[in-house]
Amino acid sequence: MGSDFVLPVIQIKTRDGNFIPTLCVLHDGLIIQNVDEGDVEELACLEKRNFSFQQYGSDVLSAKKFLYFLTRANAVTLVARSGSAILGYVIIIFRKNSNIARLYTMAVDRPARGKGLAKKLLQVAEKLAAGFGCAYMSLETRIDNKAMQNLCENSGYQKKNFLKNYYADHGDAYKYVKRLGVQ
């Protein structure tokens, strides 16, 4: 997957008067853009396929929770589409008075994996966070999630903390942080 992409293309105004860029990343027919309300059911299916209830419990996002992130939370959900199919997504959460954005969750559906899509979603999420004035991006991932750890470590993230019993099944996590603008 090539590295050329264009953003932002248009800006949309949120309820609280802020502007959120609607991101369009055009490559091989692939678009990364803000989620739409009509996407939440499909996102919940994708989430269910990619995060087991046994491991993540109620952290597995329902359509209602995706809708909450879209309409009420101080967050941005981006989806990667090819045609009408959603191949992956990322949610970034912002906090008032904090310059640290949090990558809350990210997944790429199995058939689309291994082609650089997560790397692209992460890059776009970072550009978005930097555009919102954030200096850092943080995220947590399971200590046995080698794919995510490799992605983080190859993308300039530093392992900061070990989080014991972080997940519903008592699985442990690592917290990663990246200073934005640094590769």
Ligand X SMILES: CC(C)(COP(=O)(O)OP(=O)(O)OC[C@H]1O[C@@H](n2cnc3c(N)ncnc32)[C@H](O)[C@@H]1OP(=O)(O)O)[C@@H](O)C(=O)NCCC(=O)NCCS
**Residue 48 vs 146, nearer CB to ligand X:** 146
* Residue 46 binds to ligand X (criterion: CB under 6 A): no
- Quickly tell me which residue has 């678009």 as its tokens: 31
Contact indicator for 137, 101 with CB cutoff of 8 Å: yes
* Among residues 113, 135, 143, 167, the one that binds ligand X under rule CB under 6 A: 113
Find, among 38, 32, 86, 87, the residue nearest to 63 by Cα.
38
* Residue 93 binds to ligand X (criterion: CB under 6 A): no
**Residue 57 vs 114, nearer CB to ligand X:** 114
- What percent of the residues of the chain are helix, what percent strand, and what percent coil, each to the nearest 5? 30, 35, 35
- Quickly tell me which residue has 């983080």 as its tokens: 152
Report the alpha-carbon distance of residue 65 to residue 49 in Å, rounded: 16
Q: Least distance from C-beta 38 to ligand X, angstroms?
A: 22
* Residue 57 binds to ligand X (criterion: CB under 6 A): no
* Among residues 154, 170, 182, 183, the one that binds ligand X under rule CB under 6 A: 154
Stretch that binds ligand X, among 53-61, 74-82, 103-111, 129-137 (CB under 6 A): 103-111
* Residue 54 binds to ligand X (criterion: CB under 6 A): no
Find, among 169, 106, 165, 167, the residue nearest to 137 by Cα.
106
* Among residues 8, 116, 131, 171, the one that binds ligand X under rule CB under 6 A: 116
**Residue 91 vs 134, nearer CB to ligand X:** 91
Find, among 5, 98, 81, the residue nearest to 43 by Cα.
81
Q: Least distance from C-beta 50 to ligand X, angstroms?
A: 4
* Among residues 117, 128, 129, 137, the one that binds ligand X under rule CB under 6 A: 117
Question: Residue 94 corresponds to which tokens in the numbers above?
Answer: 């912002």
> Which residues of the shown chain bind ligand X in the complex (CB under 6 A)?
50, 106-108, 113-119, 141, 145-148, 150-151, 154
